[in-house]
Amino acid sequence: MSYLLRVTIDDRPGSLGQLAVALGAVRADILSLEVIERGSDWAVDDIVVTLPIGALPDTLITAATQAGAHVDSVRPYAGVLDTHRELELVDHVATSRGDRLQTLVNDAPAVLRASWATVVSRADSGAAITVCGSSGTPETPLVAADWLPLSAARTIDPHDAGIPQAWRDADTRLVAAPLDGTNRAVLLGRVGGPDFRPSEVARLGYLIGIIGSIGEGSG
């Protein structure tokens, strides 16, 4: 089974090698590694690994911790490995022969490793309207969207008014980006964390800015 391991490690020579050796010791096979964010002396990495049948994901946490890494999260991973996910998302939306917004929310979770994505709008009353959503979108709908309109991509506090209690109970982290300068936004949820890093928020804003210029409707 494949897992997505998000870790924070010291950004120094040898630290990544140490982590790789520790993961190998528990028979984890590293499939891909992506640097999500980097500071002056640290880095946040997403590592996709596979474990043998019957092996527990807790072994990943133990191995990474022993190698000096801080484990932010371990989640089952069923996405397609692709180093050019962002470009493919833009191309897929641009060439879509159907509803481009639906195509966007269908593909966006894999790009930003979220659990689900929706397009939401805000009525004059402040009520939230779900325009479309991906698979995995919570059955309990968003009640209000007082955070709309947005001027830039940002995380959304799950304790804001209008966020359903069921979303909070599932420990869902939220991020949104404005869509084409209106009272609409693309909202992504990551169930169980980890938090969306500032670099991920910026990436979402950049992508939605490009996609918003493409327009809607049929391709």
Residue 218 is predicted with a pLDDT of 45
Residue 219 is predicted with a pLDDT of 42
Asked whether the beta carbons of 12 and 6 are under 8 A apart, the reply is no
CATH class of residue range 85-212: alpha beta
> Quick check: do 2-76 and 85-212 share a fold?
no
How would CATH label the architecture of 2-76? 2-Layer Sandwich (3.30)
- Whether pTM exceeds 0.85: no
- CA–CA dist 36, 33 (Å, integer): 9
Asked whether the beta carbons of 89 and 108 are under 8 A apart, the reply is yes
CA atoms within 13 A on the CB side of 108: 35
For the chain, domain boundaries = 2-76, 85-212
Average pLDDT, consecutive stretches of 10 residues, N- to C-terminus, the chain (219 residues): 93 87 92 87 92 93 96 84 66 81 92 93 92 96 92 93 94 93 90 91 86 59
